[in-house]
Amino acid sequence: MSRVYNFSAGPSMLPEEVLKKAAAEMLDYEGSGQSVMEMSHRSKVYDSIIKGAESLLRELMNIPDNYKVLFLQGGASTQFAAIPLNFMNGSGKADFIITGQWAKKAFSEAKKYGDVKAVASSEDEVYTYIPKTSKEDFRSDADYVYICMNNTIYGTVYKNLPDTGDIPLIADISSCFLSEPLDVTKFGMVYGGAQKNVAPAGLTIAIIREDLLGKARDITPTMLNYQIHADNDSLYNTPPCYTIYICKLVLEWIKNLGGLEKMKELNEAKAKMLYDFLDNSKLFKGTVKKEDRSLMNVPFVTGNEELDAKFVKESTAAGFVNLKGHRTVGGMRASIYNAMPIEGVKALVDFMEKFEKENG
Ligand SMILES: *Cc1c(COP(=O)(O)O)cnc(C)c1O
């Protein structure tokens, strides 16, 4: 069996140890005589899986007791509507910072439900930087301020959070979930689709400060009402059972590695290797303002579209897959999430060096 190095932005690599453990437990989970895929979500054995996943997540992310952890479905994109329905219900205003397509989509969706304002945007330079804001930029009566923390398509990340004063900050952390420690207390809510860094597709995790719950609009569909899911410990209806189980295995893997401080150290070492190469290369260059570079998604170009296409083709043949940039930006993008081993990044850099020699 030979496995490729998968640089996909999502769904993306999972740790090999996790896949092996899931394979070993496929037919008989811990003596239950069933696969986790076959279990009732109301069974005792499944209860230990979902509760175990929540308590591991709380432990690793240091989530305070006044925050609810919800296991949801519908992807990050469903929350673009759920967030205004649940929280845009005081003044009916929400302020957004537009740092890419995902923030823009969240903004457009929220527009259907109230008075939204794009306070800042980096669209003028193809989202290659994080715009600076100050507290005065936000409307003091806004129900929340919304950001996308790590911009998967463009490769930027917030290194310093915007100062929103007392206004709750809500962040989409889909592509930086569990990549490094995060101070949850700085947010009213963080959430993300699991398929980038946490589990296979099908699971969305939301972490919400309790005092923000219970204010959903009457028209909010039951399945989009966070209070309903909180009151039912994420078991109002059938949750994505198997994905939550894999999530638990991934959390165990992170814990065994040494937790999120260690994860950050590993991710920084991987990203540094690739960025250092890009900064010294005469052929390849990174596309993002240095101070805003993501640890997770690294876009780069040669400056020549034909050469970009040649690189994508040859790298794929050599076992480095999904390096093609997002269809809206072109070029290349290496997504180097938690599960990408440092050997994978080293091998990619070696391959890029060789390509540069042959084509430079
Ligand atoms: C992938 C991604 C999304 C979309 O997630 P879905 O689960 O497909 O809806 C939203 N935001 C960010 C930052 C992403 O990376």
| Residue 254 CA, ligand 1 centroid: distance in Å | 22
Per-residue pLDDT of the chain (360 residues), as tens digits, is 689 999 999 999 999 999 999 999 999 999 999 999 999 999 999 999 999 999 999 999 999 999 999 999 999 999 999 999 999 999 999 999 999 999 999 999 999 999 999 999 999 999 999 999 999 999 999 999 999 999 999 999 999 999 999 999 999 999 999 999 999 999 999 999 999 999 999 999 999 999 999 999 999 999 999 999 999 999 999 999 999 999 999 999 999 999 999 999 999 999 999 999 999 999 999 999 999 999 999 999 999 999 999 999 999 999 999 999 998 889 999 999 999 999 999 999 999 999 999 998
d(CA 48, CA 360): 56
> Does 183 qualify as catalytic in the annotation?
no
Q: What is the pLDDT of residue 329?
A: 83
Of 194, 154, 188, residue with least CA distance to 173: 194
Q: What number of other Cβ atoms are within 10 A of residue 141's Cβ? A: 10
Q: How far apart are CA 275 and CA 286, in angstroms?
A: 7
Active-site residue among 95, 143, 172, 308?
Answer: 172
- 173 CA: nearest ligand 1 atom: 13
pLDDT of residue 1: 66
Dist. CA 211–CA 358, nearest whole Å: 59
The whole-number pLDDT of residue 2 equals 87
Q: 77, 146, 174: which to mutate for ligand 1, most atoms within 8 A of CB?
A: 174
Nearest CA to ligand 1 atom 4: 76
Asked if residue 156 lies in contact with residue 99, where contact means CB atoms within 8 angstroms, the answer is yes
Closest atom of ligand 1 relative to the 100 alpha carbon: 13
Query: Which residues does a 6 A CB cutoff place in the pocket of ligand 1?
Result: 10, 75-77, 102, 148, 152, 172, 174-175, 193, 196
Q: Whose CA is nearest to atom 7 of ligand 1?
A: 75
The one catalytic residue among 68, 93, 95, 102: 102
Dihedral sign, CA of 16, 19, 22, 24?
negative
Question: Quick one: how far is CA 272 from the chain centroid?
Answer: 20
State how beta strands 204-209 and 285-286 pair.
Answer: unpaired
Order of strands across the sheet that contains 332-335:
285-286, 297-301, 332-335
In this structure, the residue with its CA closest to atom 14 of ligand 1 is 174
- Tokens 């009457």 sit on residue: 218
Question: What is the per-residue pLDDT for 192?
Answer: 98
How far apart (Å, rounded) are the C-alpha atoms in residues 106 and 172?
9
Query: 200 alpha carbon to ligand 1 midpoint, in Å?
Result: 13
159 a catalytic residue: no
For residues 127 and 69, give the distance between their C-alpha atoms in angstroms, rounded to a whole number: 31
Q: How far apart are CA 18 and CA 251, in angstroms?
A: 10
**Alpha-carbon radius of gyration of the chain:** 21
Q: Best substitution site from 80, 147, 172, 329 to test ligand 1's pocket, by max atoms within 8 Å of Cβ?
A: 172
C-beta separation of 11 from 326 below 8 A: no
In DSSP terms, 118 is beta-bridged to 96
In the chain the first and final C-alpha atoms are separated, in Å, by: 34
Q: Of all atoms in ligand 1, which is nearest to the CA of residue 151?
A: 13
Whether 34 contacts 49, CB under 8 Å: no
Contacts of range 65-69, beta carbons closer than 8 Å, 24 or more positions apart: 66/209, 66/210, 66/211, 67/184, 67/207, 67/208, 67/209, 67/210, 68/206, 68/207, 68/208, 68/210, 68/213, 68/226, 68/230, 69/205, 69/206, 69/207, 69/234
Query: Ligand 1 center to residue 100 CA distance, Å?
Result: 12
Q: Which residues pair with 172 in a beta bridge?
A: 148, 191
Task: From the CA of 152, give the closest atom in ligand 1.
Answer: 15
Atom 13 in ligand 1: which residue has the minimum CA distance? 174
Burial class (CB in 10 A: 0-12, 13-18, 19+), 132: exposed
- The count of C-alpha atoms lying within 13 angstroms of the C-alpha of 349, restricted to the half-sphere facing its C-beta, is 19
Q: Which of 68, 93, 196, 324 is catalytic?
A: 196
Q: Is 276 a catalytic residue?
A: no
Strands 5-6 and 320-321, how do they pair? parallel
